[in-house]
Structure 1
Amino acid sequence: MEDVDPKKLVRALVVVSTRLTRAFRRLIGNESELVTLRALAVVEQYQPVRVGHFAQGYLSSQPAATKLLARLEDEGLVVRETSPTDRRASQFSLTDLGRVRLAKYRTIMTEQMVPYFEGLSAEDRLRVHRALGLVGEYLHNEHPVDRDEGVDNEAFGTPGDDGVPVLPGTITDELTDGEAASTTDTTDNGKGKQERR
């Protein structure tokens, strides 16, 4: 049975994800909207999310995360609530408007990308689907964001209707305001995991 070097797989995944991110960047166009899209995806993935955990998931400093969440709150895209386990801490969740905004951009991305995958054979689509499921499962199990008391662990990546984990932040991991890890950071520890800051 043939095999592929894991390092080769990781390098290919980094290259493909970078190209995919650039394609989405061209589709959305507005840099501020790209930042908003990625931030909303991170909130959705971990909600209700505290600022520190958002910063880890977004790969930013805590002050930058605080500022970004405040902007999203001002725009009515997220809502701030007091943590039920720590009255001194705040946690954030998407509002209906935030969910609509996120869904809008995902629809744009999907509609633009579907023709490429329609051109694949049924067998190739199944292979891609299986590969995405394996990568999604790995990211779900090995994600660098801490899980502590008071945080709903079910929020750390849940399966979609088809059983493939939904990873809302993944496709836009480079769409930040300059604080994202570089593609080098994603492989520096030899395990394909992003480094924490």
Structure 2
Amino acid sequence: MDHAQGKGDARQTARALADTASAVIRVVTDRRGMSFTAAATLARLEREGPARLTALATAEGVTQPSMTQLVQRLERQGLVLRIADEVDGRVTLVAVTDAGREVLAARRQARDDRLAALVATLPDADRQALREAMEIVAPLVRRMVADDTQSAAVTAREDTGSV
């Protein structure tokens, strides 16, 4: 296989992976009561810890006023709270609450149950092939998420002038 053909195969595989990920997210995401952006914001706070509104807005690809409104709704629901930054007391951070963690856990459980039910319908050989494929895909996706997280952190530092 020449280099150009390998690049084309990689592009086709990448497209198939992206299309599959998008379809899975659309189908298994429970949209009742919480938008995708709200759930993603809660998950980011759980994963990365307290953050500034500006950093959250940048990371989630929304405007700061939109993120402010979202955080206010999440606060009213008891899913996040605002706390003072330990380094700079003038700065307010947004943090996920225990109730927010519980909502995320319930959403993940529902998602996992739905996917498990679908996977269970596959023949044994296909389930094994999918399990093996996930051993390749999962580290690749984790690397992509880590790269995205690093990029968002750099952008947030640039926005606050702390680079």
Separation in 2 of the partners of 1:29 and 1:92? 23
How far apart are residue 94 of structure 1 and its match? 1.1
Greater per-residue helix proportion: 2
What is the number of equivalent residue pairs in this alignment? 145
TM-score under structure 2 length normalisation: 0.77
Q: Whose relative contact order is higher, 1 or 2, with alpha carbons under 8 Å and at least 6 apart?
A: 1
Contact 2:79 / 2:97 at 8 angstroms: preserved in 1?
yes
Unaligned ranges ≥5, structure 1: 149-197
**SS of equivalent to 1:79:** strand
* Partner residue in 1 for 2:34: 33
Give the CA RMSD over aligned residues: 2.2
For 2:119, give the aligned amino acid: F
Q: Which residue of 2 aligns with 1:146?
A: 153
Counterpart residue number, 1:5: 9
Are 1:117 and 1:125, in contact at CA under 8 Å, matched by a contact in 2? no
Write the letter of the residue equivalent to 2:24: L
Number of the residue aligned with 1:50? 52
Could you tell me which residue of structure 1 aligns to residue 72 of structure 2?
70
Which stretches of structure 1, 4 residues or more, deviate above 6 A after TM superposition? none
Whether the 8 Å contact between 1:50 and 1:92 is mirrored in structure 2 is yes
Give structure 2 stretches of 5+ with no counterpart.
Answer: 158-163
Q: What percentage of aligned pairs have identical amino acids? A: 24
Post-superposition CA distance 1:132-153 (Å, at most 9, x none): 22121232134331244xxxxx
- Report if the CA contact (8 A) 2:79-2:96 is conserved: yes
Q: Using the TM superposition, give the Cα deviation of residue 34 of structure 1 relative to its aligned residue in structure 2, in angstroms.
A: 2.8
Look up the SS of the partner of 2:78 in the other structure. coil
Amino acid at match of 1:133: P
